[in-house]
Structure 1
Amino acid sequence: MKKPSRLILGIAAVVVAAAAGLAWKQWAPAATAKSGGKPPPLVGVTTSRTLDLPVRFAAQGHIVPLNQVDIRPQVTGVIRTVNFREGDEVKPGQLLFELDASDVVAQMRRAEAQANQIHAQLNEATRDLNRTLQLVKSGFMSAAVVDTARSKAESLQAQFKAAQADVESARVRVGYMRIVAPIAGKTGAVVVHPGSLAQIGDAAPLASIVQFDPIAVEFTLPERDLAAVRDAHAAGDTEVSIDLGGDTRTGTLSFMDNRVNTGNGTIGLKASFANADRHLWPGAYVRVALSAGTTKNAVVLPPQAVLEGPDGNFVFQVDADKHVVSQPVTLLRIQDHNAVVDGLRSGETVVVEGARSLRSGMTVAIDSAAAASAATNGAAR
């Protein structure tokens, strides 16, 4: 073969080899992708840690009186006077209403007269019995007459006691004509006026009295918080505060319901507050914060590290070989930007970013920048 021909063949071979190499480079990644050799997913991680964390719970509550009385008549009568104004502060025993007592006073006088009449008859029967006893002793009368006289006296004695009871009942009814305040508090709207007929069994009370100082706040917490609140309350380590738009007031936990509401899984609580300035008004809604001691060595994570699945909450742990494992946990509460969990030890490496596409057993690549950021944020919190 001539030299030029060999040269041309050599050049052609080099070109073919170069083209083959280029084709291989373009084909190899696609083949790798098709064969399942994807790079591992990139995730950010954090490390679980322990804190001595104050136990605080937040809730919505509403203000309720500790004592409230609806004023209702105990007898039917016409209102003669109303002795207070709507919204007045009243004291125990203060006269509120007077009813027309003419009819019940007449009934009392009639009962007293009947009692006096029977009492006079009783005195006469007693004297007759004493005379009869003397005559029997003297032999002027038989013993059978004594039995008759004694029976009459005893009958009148029973009638006199019944008459006395009627007098007392009438006096009580006369007392009902004066309606007084049973407690100290603030009165509400008055729905009757002089001349109105007050009747037993009316749907609306004559007025209501609400005690303002002290006053209470009712609220509920989930059943899962019951144990912490119960133990802290038993140890005297609870404090309740309410936010009045910049003004915070503290009170004491005064009541825990004796059962959990099975309908919504909550426990009812009540706290009492001093209210001399009348700033707390019954029926108003307030934000409630309950402090219940301190949880020692609470395991905490960033809230976004805790995921929710069909079987409850879980986290993805990362082992030394960078394999992720699903670990069930119990989310106790989220407080101060920390998720307090049970079921995890301190110092465990947990996925905090990129966990949504993971499955247990997968290999991951750790994003060092995200891990450093998570560690810094956790330390700052």
Structure 2
Amino acid sequence: MNFKNQLIFVAIAVMIFTSCGSEQQKQQQSKSLDLKTESLGITKVEIKQQYAASIEGVQNIEIRPQTSGFIESCNIIEGQEVKKGQVLFTINSENQKQSLRAAEALVLVAESNVEKAQLEISQVKPLVEKGIIGEVELATKRSNLSAAIAQLEKSKADRKNAKENLSYTIVRSPVNGVVGDLPYKLGSLVSSQTPMPLTTVTDISSVYAFFTQTEKELLELNRGTRGMSQEERLKVMPDVSLMLSDGIMYEHSGRVVAINGLVNPRTGSVSYKAEFPNPDKLIRTGSSGIIKIPSAIEKAILVPQAATYELQGKLFVYVLDQENKASSREIKVNSLKYEDKYIVEAGVKPGDKIVAEGIIKVHDGIMIN
């Protein structure tokens, strides 16, 4: 009888424990969270694609000597702004002056020879007309005159070259711009064969920003402007902006003025050139920056970054079903962001409801109020 009572007691205890466990499970399943949710929709957004850029002046001119000699004077300093025609250097000109004097002397000699040949013709011609001497003598004198005239022309050309060589000893700036490095000192021997330029003058009244896009991005541009010439494509492209190396946006907008016609086979990229005005000479050659190109997405699904979590390199959100139960779902997003939101390419659709905040508290199957 005792044994029977014990069995009854155990059975009752099991029933009570099972009942309690069932109640706890029901309570656990019915537990819910009060969190902010968001219904996804479609909207038009404008994003700015970013590209690293290197910057140069519209003209970067190497100043090289066109004659040989020693640097006699340097009239500039590095970084100085110069005007077109301003004297930058003078090169010792004694050799060039001597060459010019010699050339001028040869011109005088040649002119004298021409006069002499003309005089001889004037003396022989009457004698030929009277039959005193033959035609051969006159033809010879005329030939001598032609040779003298030719020698005179050559002497004049040599004199002109000598004058030009003398003018090359004064080195002037070909454009308005800013002076670069000055590798040579006073007294240095320079010539047209000198490996390094005397300096570089850069016109920075406007600057070019060089950047690259992928072949895929070029194809998108070409498809969107199919049938247009290159000039027409450049006209319809939007204005671009420039963020300088200090993180501040440049106040002037620019335009893309050239697209390279070839894709680099090693990198799969295409070079672009944008031009920006630089009236205050703020930007210098060699600077760097970030080009920003606006781009519109007509039908974008936006998901707040706070509504996502990352697991093993993948991005997830919690989507609510009709009963407001949460379930995790992987999403694919654009590499670009719009403000603090992801632009979703796959994984969710318009009308889906997601948990918008506090996702650290959420797990699959939990109810969200």
Does the pair score TM above 0.5? yes
In 1, Cα distance between the equivalents of 2:129 and 2:112?
26
Within the alignment, does 1:267 sit opposite 2:270 as a pair?
yes
Identity %: 21
1:212-291 maps to which residues of 2 (within 5 A)?
212-226=204-218, 233-243=234-244, 244-246=246-248, 248-258=250-260, 259-286=262-289, 288-291=290-293
- Of residues 162, 166, 185, the one that matches 1:170 is 162
Cα pair 2:331 2:344 within 8 Å, conserved: no
- Of residues 190, 196, 214, the one that matches 2:188 is 196
Cα pair 2:254 2:277 within 8 Å, conserved: no
Q: What do the CA deviations read for 1:185-239 (whole angstroms, capped 9, x no partner)? A: 1223433344332233323322222223223333334444445667684315223
> Which residue pairs with 1:297 in the alignment?
299
Query: Which amino acid in 1 is paired with 2:68?
Result: T
1:262–1:13 distance in 2 versus 1, CA, 3 Å = same
Within the alignment, does 1:145 sit opposite 2:148 as a pair?
no
- Of residues 156, 159, 163, the one that matches 2:148 is 156
Question: Does the residue aligned with 2:183 lie in a helix, a strand or coil?
Answer: coil
Deviates more, 1:158-167 or 1:252-261: 252-261
Within the alignment, does 1:75 sit opposite 2:75 as a pair?
no
Within the alignment, does 1:335 sit opposite 2:327 as a pair?
no
In 1, Cα distance between the equivalents of 2:315 and 2:13?
55
Deviates more, 1:211-220 or 1:334-343: 334-343
Unaligned runs of 5+ in 2: 20-35, 226-232, 357-362
Q: What do the CA deviations read for 1:232-253 (whole angstroms, capped 9, x no partner)? A: 8431522313244556423212
Question: Does the residue aligned with 1:73 lie in a helix, a strand or coil?
Answer: coil
In 2, Cα distance between the equivalents of 1:89 and 1:228?
43
In 2, Cα distance between the equivalents of 1:274 and 1:94?
24
Question: Does the residue aligned with 2:208 lie in a helix, a strand or coil?
Answer: strand
| CA positional deviation for 1:90 | 1.0
1:241–1:348 distance in 2 versus 1, CA, 3 Å = same
Query: Which amino acid in 1 is paired with 2:89?
Result: F
1:17–1:319 distance in 2 versus 1, CA, 3 Å = closer
1:1-381 maps to which residues of 2 (within 5 A)?
11=5, 14=8, 18=12, 49-226=41-218, 233-243=234-244, 244-246=246-248, 248-258=250-260, 259-286=262-289, 288-301=290-303, 331=334, 333-340=336-343, 347=350, 349=352, 367=366, 369=368
- Please give the TM-score of this superposition, normalised by the length of structure 2: 0.71
| CA positional deviation for 1:70 | 2.3
Cα pair 2:205 2:279 within 8 Å, conserved: yes
- Please give the TM-score of this superposition, normalised by the length of structure 1: 0.69
In 2, Cα distance between the equivalents of 1:97 and 1:228?
51
Cα pair 2:68 2:191 within 8 Å, conserved: yes
Cα pair 2:331 2:345 within 8 Å, conserved: no
In 1, Cα distance between the equivalents of 2:255 and 2:332?
31
In 2, Cα distance between the equivalents of 1:263 and 1:240?
28
Query: Which amino acid in 1 is paired with 2:110?
Result: I
Cα pair 2:60 2:200 within 8 Å, conserved: yes
> Which residue pairs with 1:36 in the alignment?
none
> Which residue pairs with 1:33 in the alignment?
none
Cα pair 1:233 1:292 within 8 Å, conserved: no
In 1, Cα distance between the equivalents of 2:143 and 2:348?
93
1:309–1:137 distance in 2 versus 1, CA, 3 Å = farther
| CA positional deviation for 1:9 | 8.2
Q: CA RMSD in A?
A: 4.5
Query: Which amino acid in 1 is paired with 2:206?
Result: P
Deviates more, 1:327-336 or 1:104-113: 327-336
Cα pair 1:45 1:366 within 8 Å, conserved: no
Cα pair 1:333 1:341 within 8 Å, conserved: no
In 1, Cα distance between the equivalents of 2:292 and 2:145?
72
1:24–1:127 distance in 2 versus 1, CA, 3 Å = same
Query: Which amino acid in 1 is paired with 2:298?
Result: K
Question: Does the residue aligned with 2:164 lie in a helix, a strand or coil?
Answer: helix
| CA positional deviation for 1:149 | 2.4
Aligned length, in residue pairs: 337
| CA positional deviation for 1:180 | 0.4
Unaligned runs of 5+ in 1: 26-43, 354-363, 373-381
> Which residue pairs with 1:31 in the alignment?
none
| CA positional deviation for 1:183 | 1.0
Question: Does the residue aligned with 2:204 lie in a helix, a strand or coil?
Answer: coil
Cα pair 1:238 1:252 within 8 Å, conserved: yes
